[in-house]
């Protein structure tokens, strides 16, 4: 072929920024990456298609006779489903095994995080470290009874407060035992409403020890063990409860004890929080153990002076993913973005160090960092990267501040190494974060009754139609943040108050939904009235992925406050993970379902290839736990499925009529000072 007639080399297919994200900063940075010819997850999502059989949950590779793939017949299943793997495993068995292995992965990730926190807390209690202390002794006293630890002592006929260090040591030892104790059940199960505990007892799903439930999943799903999807799911439910009411809840509580229980504070969100004239350090991952110290180190006069010496005006700390949420809710450190923005933070050219710990960290960060001056630092012994440009500084809680200062200094030293290729998008949004069980009680609770009375009252009278938990990841197979924002807006428009965590919370912050002012713009009249009266946003940021345990406890408080049934499953409430991608999301989804919550996932669920198993999750589970799974990719339909469920629960409670009245009730508005 003559040179002139040769087809030009095919340009790689690239993501369309407008199709990839609803966020302008993200769109700008995708364009920027493409100009610089740096590939990102958005481009890879265009060039690599997912496996259709894997997506449906019906590929088994649990032994070397496989992988066995069981595609659905084109015209669906007519009559008996005869599909089977070499060993005879049915589609139900394969999908259930895959599903509960995801639960095991998710529960392990959350719970290992919790274990790390508990071990650090034990070091604090033993006075082996000076860098961490007990910042919230009241919370420690509040949780101690669940661990069987006395908080008072009798002396000379008087009841006195027990020494806080003694309580700390006893709680730490009891907490750590939860991972591997022999016999008994997890102690925190006692915090759930009694009818729920009875359901778990009847179903035989009360977790015994956290590690045990995860190991048992790996055993049961080994080739030739458990081959009954119902029995497999029983263990899935048990392991998920060991996560939500175990590893995650212990992690959240002990983090609050050591680092402080969050209370509402103001901050900002999105890539625009990075500053060209500052040293920018981005922390990313999940565990706050090191990032807490990095916050302290970067605020220390020593480091600030050093940064100025090197020509910077200061140190700007920012976060990605749940490490971001942890330091946001306790210190107001702004998130630079969600899961899908991690590469983009480096592509600004102004990221002097990205410090990562565990979970949700792209290995491609190393390839992107190579194109810039950015120091990419791994810090956790279980999470390293093979690329040579990655620096590993192993974090040791006994020398926490020393490690943190070393990292901050490395970032400062790197400030002068920046190239000319700097582009920080200007977009950032104001937000209020840092809500929790305690602060909801403070803002929406009764002054005299000290519980969730006011919240319940507003649900009963219909101003608040119901409660939704909207949580979870981004997924590069769906438009970044689109489903999160559409679903949340549709819910609050219909007077449903939203509790949010994880990347969903960051997305809501970026969209300006975490401000009290959002109520007047986006809410239905009832919810707007409550938010404006109390001065809270209609979407409450409750923290990170492990903090979904806060939602379980908030729901329990609502039950306790009365008037809305006896169990979480009676509440006009629903859960959602619009853009999920992580195994942790499946574990969270299952512990919500097993705790009585109707839970809708977006995008897809890996069960479509096993219709009987799917029905078991989407229908039959409700009879067992009061909660069930559902999936809806369309955000508006997704929100309305949740609202329909909320209305169903309102009708069952006999409070559906109250809502119709309240929206026209002028006297009530006047009583609230709104007219």
Contacting positions for ligand MSK (CB under 6 A): 286, 321-322, 339, 359-360, 472-473, 502-503, 544-545, 582, 584
Chosen from ligand MSK, ligand SF4, none, partner binding at 360 (C-beta under 5 to 8 Å by type): ligand MSK
Residue 339 binds: one of ligand SF4, ligand MSK, none (C-beta under 5 to 8 A by kind): ligand MSK
- 472, interface contact from ligand MSK, ligand SF4, none, CB < 5-8 Å by kind: ligand MSK
Q: Which is nearer to ligand MSK, 441 or 501 (CB)?
A: 501
- 644 CB-near residues (< 8 Å, 6+ apart): none
Contact between 425 and 271 under an 8 Å Cβ cutoff? The reply is yes
Q: How far is the CB of 428 from ligand MSK (least distance, A)?
A: 19
Q: With respect to ligand MSK, which residue has the nearer C-beta, 113 or 489?
A: 113
Q: Is residue 506 within 8 Å of residue 324, measured between CB atoms?
A: yes
Answer with the entry of ligand SF4, ligand MSK, none that 311 interacts with (C-beta below 5 to 8 A by kind).
Answer: none
Q: Which is nearer to ligand SF4, 236 or 565 (CB)?
A: 236
316 binds, among ligand MSK, ligand SF4, none (CB under 5 to 8 A by kind): none
Nearer CB in complex with ligand MSK: 380/463: 380
Minimum distance from CB of 339 to ligand MSK (Å)? 4
What burial letters (b/e) apply to 167-201, b meaning 16+ CB within 10 Å?
Answer: bbbbbbebbbebbebeeebbbbbeebbebbbebbe
Contacts of 278 (CB under 8 A, 6+ apart): 307, 312, 313, 314, 315, 316
C-beta of 93: minimal distance to ligand SF4 in Å? Answer: 8
Nearer of residues 45 and 223 to ligand SF4, judged by Cβ: 223
Chain centroid offset of residue 313 CA: 34
Least Å distance, CB 295 to ligand MSK, is 18
CB of 618 to ligand SF4, least distance (A): 24
Classified as helix, coil or strand, 541 is: strand
66, interface contact from ligand MSK, ligand SF4, none, CB < 5-8 Å by kind? ligand SF4
How far is 9 from 13, CA to CA, in rounded Å? 12
319 vs 526, beta carbon nearer ligand MSK:
319
Largest CA distance in the chain: 104
- Least CB distance to ligand SF4 at residue 207 (A): 26
Task: Identify what 321 binds: ligand SF4, ligand MSK, none; CB under 5 to 8 Å per kind.
Answer: ligand MSK
The site partner of 473 among ligand SF4, ligand MSK, none (C-beta below 5 to 8 Å per kind) is ligand MSK
Residue 370 tokens, joined: 């190579």
CB of 236 to ligand SF4, least distance (A): 18
Task: Give the Å distances, CA to CA, from 172 to 115, 134, 535.
Answer: 11, 12, 37
Taking the complex as a whole, how short is the minimal distance between the CB of residue 219 and ligand SF4, in angstroms?
Answer: 14
Of 18, 36, 37, 14, nearest to 27 (Cα)? 18
Which of residues 77 and 86 has its CB atom nearest to ligand SF4 in the complex?
A: 86
- DSSP letter, residue 51: P
Cα 281 from Cα 220, distance rounded (Å): 44
Query: What, of ligand MSK, ligand SF4, none, does residue 194 touch, CB below 5 to 8 Å by kind?
Result: none
Would you tell me the crossing angle of helices 635-653 and 482-493 to the nearest 10 degrees? Answer: 30
Would you say 146 or 339 has its CB closer to ligand MSK? 339
DSSP code, position 244: I
For 95, the token pair is 């999908």
| Nearer to ligand SF4 (CB atom), residue 61 or residue 313 | 61
Interacting partner of 524 out of ligand MSK, ligand SF4, none (Cβ under 5 to 8 A depending on kind): none
Query: Which CB, 67 or 450, lies closer to ligand SF4?
Result: 67
* Shortest distance in whole angstroms from residue 60 CB to ligand SF4: 3
Distance CA 338, CA 512 (A): 14
Minimum Å gap between C-beta 654 and ligand MSK is 37
Q: What is the DSSP string of 276-304?
A: TTSEEEEEEES-HHHHHHHHHHHHSHHHH
Nearest approach in angstroms of CB 45 to ligand SF4 is 28
Tell me if the bond preceding 440 is cis, omega within 30° of 0: no
Query: What is the SS3 assignment for 171?
Result: helix
Q: Which does 491 bind (CB under 5 to 8 A by kind): ligand MSK, ligand SF4, none?
A: none
Spatial neighbors of 333 by CB under 8 A, at least 6 apart, are: 267, 295, 317, 318, 319, 324, 327
Q: CA nearest 108: which of 472, 584, 545, 548?
A: 584
Under the rule (CB under 6 A), what is the footprint of ligand SF4? Answer: 60-63, 65-68, 85-87, 89, 94, 223
Q: Where are the alpha helices (DSSP H) in 221-261?
A: 229-242, 248-259
Of 104 and 531, which has the nearer Cβ to ligand SF4? 104
């Amino acid at each position: 072929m003559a040179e002139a007639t040769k087809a030009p080399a095919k340009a790689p297919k690239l993501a369309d920024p407008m199709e990839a994200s609803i966020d302008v900063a993200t769109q700008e940075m995708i364009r920027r990456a493409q100009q610089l010819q740096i590939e990102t997850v958005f481009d890879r999502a265009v060039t690599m298609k997912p496996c259709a059989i894997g997506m449906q949950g019906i590929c088994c590779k649990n032994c070397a006779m496989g992988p066995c793939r069981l595609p659905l017949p084109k015209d669906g299943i007519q009559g008996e489903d005869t599909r089977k793997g070499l060993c005879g495993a049915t589609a139900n068995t394969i999908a259930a095994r895959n599903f509960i292995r995801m639960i095991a992965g998710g529960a392990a990730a959350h719970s290992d995080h919790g274990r790390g926190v508990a071990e650090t807390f034990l070091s604090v209690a033993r006075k082996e470290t000076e860098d961490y202390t007990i910042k919230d002794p009241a919370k420690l006293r509040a949780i101690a009874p669940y661990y069987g630890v006395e908080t008072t002592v009798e002396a000379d006929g008087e009841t006195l407060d027990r020494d806080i260090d003694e309580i700390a040591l006893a709680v730490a030892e009891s907490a750590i035992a939860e991972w591997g104790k022999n016999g008994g059940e997890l102690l925190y199960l006692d915090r759930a409403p009694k009818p729920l505990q009875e359901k778990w007892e009847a179903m035989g799903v009360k977790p015994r020890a956290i590690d045990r439930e995860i190991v048992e999943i790996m055993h049961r799903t080994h080739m030739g063990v458990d081959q009954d999807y119902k029995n497999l799911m029983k263990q899935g439910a048990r392991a998920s409860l060991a996560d939500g009411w175990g590893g995650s809840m212990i992690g959240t509580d002990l983090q609050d004890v050591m680092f402080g229980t969050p209370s509402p504070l103001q901050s900002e969100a999105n890539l625009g929080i990075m500053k060209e004239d500052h040293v920018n350090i981005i922390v990313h991952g999940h565990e706050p153990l090191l990032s807490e110290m990095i916050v302290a180190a970067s605020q220390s006069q020593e480091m600030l002076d050093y940064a100025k010496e090197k020509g910077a005006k200061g140190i700007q700390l920012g976060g990605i993913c749940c490490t971001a949420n942890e330091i946001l809710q306790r210190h107001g450190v702004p998130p630079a973005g969600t899961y899908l923005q991690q590469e983009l933070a480096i592509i600004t050219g102004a990221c002097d160090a990205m410090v990562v710990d565990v979970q949700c960290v792209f290995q491609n960060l190393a390839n992107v960092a190579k194109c810039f001056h950015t120091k990419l630092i791994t810090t956790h012994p279980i999470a390293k990267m093979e690329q040579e440009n990655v620096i590993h500084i192993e974090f040791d809680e006994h020398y926490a501040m020393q490690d943190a200062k070393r990292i901050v200094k490395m970032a400062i030293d790197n400030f002068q190494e920046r190239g000319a290729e700097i582009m920080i998008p200007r977009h950032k949004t104001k937000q209020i974060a840092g809500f929790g069980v305690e602060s909801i009680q403070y803002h929406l609770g009764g002054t005299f009754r000290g519980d969730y009375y006011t919240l319940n009252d507003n649900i009963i009278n219909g101003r608040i139609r119901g409660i939704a938990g909207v949580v979870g990841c981004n997924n590069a197979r769906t438009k970044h943040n689109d489903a999160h924002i559409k679903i949340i807006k549709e819910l609050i428009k219909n007077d449903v108050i939203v509790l949010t965590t994880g990347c969903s919370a960051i997305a809501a912050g970026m969209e300006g939904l975490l401000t009290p002012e959002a109520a007047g713009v986006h809410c239905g009249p009832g919810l707007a009235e409550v938010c404006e009266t109390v001065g809270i946003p209609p979407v409450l940021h409750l923290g990170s992925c492990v903090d979904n345990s806060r939602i379980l406890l908030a729901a329990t408080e609502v039950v306790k406050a009365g008037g809305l049934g006896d169990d979480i499953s009676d509440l006009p409430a629903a859960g959602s993970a619009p853009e999920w991608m992580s195994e942790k999301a499946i574990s969270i989804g299952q512990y919500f379902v097993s705790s009585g919550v109707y839970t809708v996932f977006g995008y897809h669920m890996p069960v479509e290839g096993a219709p009987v198993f799917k029905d078991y999750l989407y229908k039959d589970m409700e009879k067992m736990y009061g909660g069930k799974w559902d999936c809806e990719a369309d955000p508006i339909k997704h929100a309305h499925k949740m609202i329909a469920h909320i209305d169903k629960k309102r009708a069952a409670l006999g409070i559906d009529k109250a809502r119709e009245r309240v929206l026209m009730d002028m006297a009530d508005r006047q009583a609230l000072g709104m007219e």
